[in-house]
């Protein structure tokens, strides 16, 4: 047993943090919602760090290494296509046997975006309603991250037999129309309308193969998103703690007031639990445990809820200064909201956790992937 | 990170479960509480499901004979040496099925004795603890010294080759079962309040000790203990005179995580899932799912505290987090369980139609006690904020005075 990072994971943590320190918060503040730091993404790619997000065992690195990367990205509230391009599309393609495209995404040479959400993200991924009939794709996918930066989209659809199909659609096709959404999240989001013919070589897979790959991909994405949420919470608590130690009112630091201490303590407890939960998920994934999609959904559900409360407290503790001029807490607050709602919001995740009726591992009733 | 238990603790877990299958009946597993509850309920309401004080003593001896109480004890006395994870497994497995374990002996007395006790103390007490032959109770709280324990007034005055002790203690749970009193007293009234405290270990049958019962909401008995001119030889002083506060702090840092364990919550959740049935309505399933995630978080925090101790570091923040989280979740779990069970939730363990042996009703009434025992939860928050996040020590000033 060891509930601390090992040397390899510490090395990854230090490397990512050093790299991202080169992109200070002032830069992120001025470009928020207008552009994303392509330089940071390129450097992560050049350093070979993007590959970690492909998922466990693909590169001989355990899932815990990807979690370390995710936490650091969350700390930096970094806007990047890593989740959609590598953790989602790269992972999907790899499992469907397209190692070549997967490698291009993991190297940052190419960018892809996962287009699954219809009314909801989870049902859009596992039970898509988008029609792919008679060689033609018609319909709309919502809230597709980085669609305009992507070279291609991976689109979940359903054929005339009701079978799930995964299609690779180039974004420069005339039958693809994008509408950029006016979002607070900082990342480019698009509703994408499809009305185009699709040839056989655009079909990445169908049926049970895609369903299985999609479930594994969702597991990977939920784990990465949970790590990012933990990282954002970690940084927000640091900032709030520093503030209440330095800021004096009534002749003493705010942090000397017991009510303030208790807000800090509640946040610290939630954060420690969330971090343990994410690393335990990674450990379970690496062990090949069953019912792992449900565990991953539970982890994202819990980390999203816990860190949302942490961010709310962070604002309350810092007062007005934290909500003006894109204060870092404000960036983290927005990212926390976006990371909670995108890639499966808490109410969407709940039904995925229902198979986990038991806690005791010896009576685990369900095997899902 | 690696969440696997070491092989030796997994073997221990299997041995314990096999032992409990033989020596702890299914009906008694329903309580998921501790020995104090079971024994006190037996005294108030004799019932086949309630274990008697005599049976608890017998069970301790069985634990001792099987070698389980030697875990964490010095090797010189046949113990395993320090092994926090093994002791975590021992206590978790016992409490999760409602089986008693000598909590105070294992988590407070023995570690303090090992840390500062004389050879004579160790020779007298450790073999008997390992054999399950002796019980202790704590004498900390007083009418005017609760969370601010260092304000205690019970006084020990040197007299000949010993001390004469006078005072009053409150909430000395298990005093009516214990053989010895692990009692904190003031030996230097002129020193700063944290520096004039000493710890004594005195027999409960010493002349001058009077134990009066206080029955709590759950039926558990605690006690007021009057200490009138009790004579204690100098050999009953633990460690050095006036160093008692330090001893308490050192032992608490390592032991708090063990006072409230998460596995009973896991077991209680399993019972609740069975009680609710196989196909709950979506809103019920949602509540169970959220509760399950909370229990998983509590379980990990508890394990983290045990592992930190096992790793040789005082789990100050980790233990405070664990205690705070588990106790608040226990109350929430019990309340939710009762709401899901509806009016059937009001039936006590004595009613044949009680769901899950009435454990949720009992848990609901008893769980409020855990919010302030083993260090009030507000104090745990102070510890987390100060030791974990660098918050300043200090108290809130009189804002009205500052405003003027």
Domain extents for chain A? 7-106, 112-207, 209-358
Can you tell me the ipTM of this complex? 0.92
Residue B277: is it exposed, middle or buried by C-beta count within 10 angstroms (0-12/13-18/19+)? exposed
Q: Given this model, what pLDDT does residue B29 score?
A: 58
Tokens read off for A182:
């006016």
pLDDT at residue A11 greater than cutoff 70: yes
> In which band, very low, low, confident or very high, does the pLDDT at B399 lie, cut at 50, 70 and 90?
very low
A197-225 core/surface letters (b: 16 or more CB in 10 A; e: else): ebeeebbbbbeeebbebbbbbbbbbbbbb
Choose among A1, A262, A350: nearest Cβ to B381: A262
Of the listed ranges A235-249, B281-295, B306-320, B389-403, the one predicted with least confidence: B389-403
What is the SS3 assignment for A74? helix
Question: Per CATH, the architecture of B260-389 is what?
Answer: Up-down Bundle (1.20)
Query: Of residues B135, B255, B318, B321, which has the active-site annotation?
Result: B255
DSSP state of A34: T
CA B185 to chain centre: 21
Instruction: Identify the burial level of B312 via C-beta atoms within 10 angstroms of its C-beta, where 0-12 means exposed, 13-18 middle and 19 or more buried.
Output: exposed
Overall CATH class of domain B137-244: mainly beta
Do residue B390 and residue A301 have CB atoms under 8 angstroms apart? no
How is chain B split into domains, by residue range?
A: 7-101, 137-244, 260-389
Helix intervals (H) in chain A: 7-21, 25-31, 38-46, 63-75, 91-95, 99-106, 121-126, 207-246, 258-287, 292-318, 328-341, 346-353
The pair of structure tokens assigned to A291 is: 């019912």
Residue B32's pLDDT band (cuts 50, 70, 90): very low
B219-243 tens-digit pLDDT: 778 899 999 999 999 999 999 999 9
For A267-276, A358-367, B378-387, which range has the lowest pLDDT when averaged over its residues?
A358-367
Q: What is the pLDDT of residue A62?
A: 87
* Inter-chain residue contact A265 with B380, CB threshold 8 Å: yes
* For range A230-258, the mean pLDDT: 96
Give the pLDDT score at B178: 93
Residue A26 pLDDT: 83
Chain B nearest-CA distance from A286, in A, is 10
Which CATH number applies to A112-207? 2.40.110.10
Collapsed DSSP state (helix, strand, coil) of residue A143: strand
Size of interface A-B (CB pairs under 8 A): 156
Does the pLDDT of residue A103 top 50, yes or no? yes
Q: Thinking of the domain A209-358, which architecture would CATH place it in?
A: Up-down Bundle (1.20)
How far B227 CA lies from chain A's nearest CA (Å)?
Answer: 35
**Subunit contact A258:B269, Cβ cutoff 8 A:** no
Q: Tell me what the mean pLDDT of segment A265-278 comes to.
A: 98
CATH architecture of the domain with residue range A7-106:
Orthogonal Bundle (1.10)
Q: For chain B, say whether A346 makes contact (Cβ under 8 Å).
A: no
Q: What is the mean pLDDT of chain A?
A: 93
């Amino acid at each position: 047993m060891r509930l601390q990072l090992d040397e390899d994971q510490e090395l990854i943590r230090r490397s990512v943090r050093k790299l991202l320190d080169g992109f200070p918060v002032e830069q992120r503040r001025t470009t928020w919602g207008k552009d994303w730091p392509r330089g940071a993404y390129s450097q992560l790619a050049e350093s070979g760090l993007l590959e970690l997000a492909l998922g466990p065992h693909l590169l001989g690195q355990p899932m815990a290494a990807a979690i370390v990367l995710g936490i650091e990205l969350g700390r930096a509230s970094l806007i990047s296509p890593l989740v959609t391009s590598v953790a989602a599309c790269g992972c999907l393609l790899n499992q469907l046997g397209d190692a070549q495209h997967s490698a291009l995404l993991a190297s940052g040479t190419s960018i892809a975006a996962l287009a699954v959400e219809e009314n909801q993200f989870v049902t859009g991924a596992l039970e898509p309603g988008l029609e792919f009939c008679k060689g033609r794709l018609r319909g709309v996918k919502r809230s597709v991250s980085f669609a305009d930066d992507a070279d291609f989209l991976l689109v979940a659809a359903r054929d005339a037999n009701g079978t799930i199909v995964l299609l690779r659609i180039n974004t420069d096709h005339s039958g693809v129309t994008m509408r950029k959404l006016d979002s607070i999240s900082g990342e480019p989001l698009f509703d994408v309308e499809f009305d185009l013919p699709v040839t056989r070589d655009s079909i990445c897979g169908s049926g049970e193969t895609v369903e299985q790959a999609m479930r594994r991909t969702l597991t990977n994405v939920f784990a990465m998103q949970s790590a990012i949420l933990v990282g954002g919470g970690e940084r927000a608590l640091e900032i709030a703690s520093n503030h209440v130690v330095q800021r004096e009112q009534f002749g003493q630091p705010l942090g000397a007031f017991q009510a303030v201490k208790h807000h800090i303590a509640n946040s610290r407890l939630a954060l420690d639990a969330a971090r343990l939960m994410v690393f335990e998920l990674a450990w379970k994934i690496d062990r090949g445990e069953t019912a792992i999609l449900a565990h991953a959904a539970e982890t994202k559900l819990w980390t999203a809820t816990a860190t949302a409360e942490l961010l709310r407290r962070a604002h309350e503790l810092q007062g007005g200064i934290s909500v003006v001029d894109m204060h870092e807490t404000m960036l983290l607050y927005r990212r926390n909201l976006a990371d909670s709602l995108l890639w499966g919001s808490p109410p969407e995740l709940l039904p995925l956790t229902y198979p986990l009726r038991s806690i005791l591992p010896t009576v685990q009733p369900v095997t899902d992937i | 990170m690696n969440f696997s238990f070491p092989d030796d603790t997994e073997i221990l877990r299997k041995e314990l479960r096999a032992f409990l299958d033989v020596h702890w009946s299914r009906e008694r597993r329903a309580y998921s509480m501790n020995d104090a509850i079971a024994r006190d309920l037996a005294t108030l309401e004799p019932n086949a499901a309630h274990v008697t004080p005599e049976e608890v003593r017998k069970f301790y001896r069985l634990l001792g004979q099987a070698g389980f109480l030697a875990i964490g004890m010095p090797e010189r006395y046949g113990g395993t040496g320090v092994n926090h994870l093994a002791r975590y497994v021992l206590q978790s497995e016992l409490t999760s099925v409602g089986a008693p374990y000598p909590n105070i002996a294992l988590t407070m007395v023995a570690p303090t004795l090992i840390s500062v006790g004389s050879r004579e103390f160790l020779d007298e007490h450790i073999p008997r603890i390992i054999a399950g032959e002796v019980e202790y109770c704590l004498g900390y709280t007083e009418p005017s010294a609760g969370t601010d324990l260092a304000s205690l007034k019970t006084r020990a005055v040197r007299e000949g080759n010993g001390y004469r002790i006078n005072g009053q203690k409150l909430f000395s749970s298990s005093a009516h079962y214990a053989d010895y009193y692990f009692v904190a007293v003031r030996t230097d009234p002129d020193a700063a309040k944290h520096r004039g405290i000493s710890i004594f270990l005195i027999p409960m049958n010493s002349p001058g000790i009077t134990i009066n019962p206080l029955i709590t909401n759950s039926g558990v008995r605690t006690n007021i203990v009057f200490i009138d001119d009790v004579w204690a030889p100098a050999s009953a002083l633990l460690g050095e005179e006036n160093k008692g506060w330090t001893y308490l702090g050192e032992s608490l840092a390592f032991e708090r995580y063990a006072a409230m364990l998460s596995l009973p919550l896991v077991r209680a959740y399993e019972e609740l899932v069975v009680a609710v049935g196989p196909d709950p309505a979506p809103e019920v399933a949602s509540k169970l799912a959220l509760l399950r995630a909370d229990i998983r978080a509590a379980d990990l925090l508890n394990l983290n505290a045990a592992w930190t101790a096992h790793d040789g570091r005082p789990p100050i923040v980790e233990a405070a987090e664990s205690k705070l989280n588990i106790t608040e979740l226990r109350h929430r779990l019990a309340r939710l369980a009762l709401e899901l069970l509806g009016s059937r939730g009001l039936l006590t363990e004595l009613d044949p139609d009680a769901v899950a042996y009435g454990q949720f009703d009992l848990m609901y009434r008893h769980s409020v006690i855990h919010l302030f025992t083993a260090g009030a939860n507000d104090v745990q928050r102070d510890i987390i904020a100060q030791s974990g996040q660098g918050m300043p020590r200090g108290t809130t000033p009189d804002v009205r005075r500052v405003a003027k």
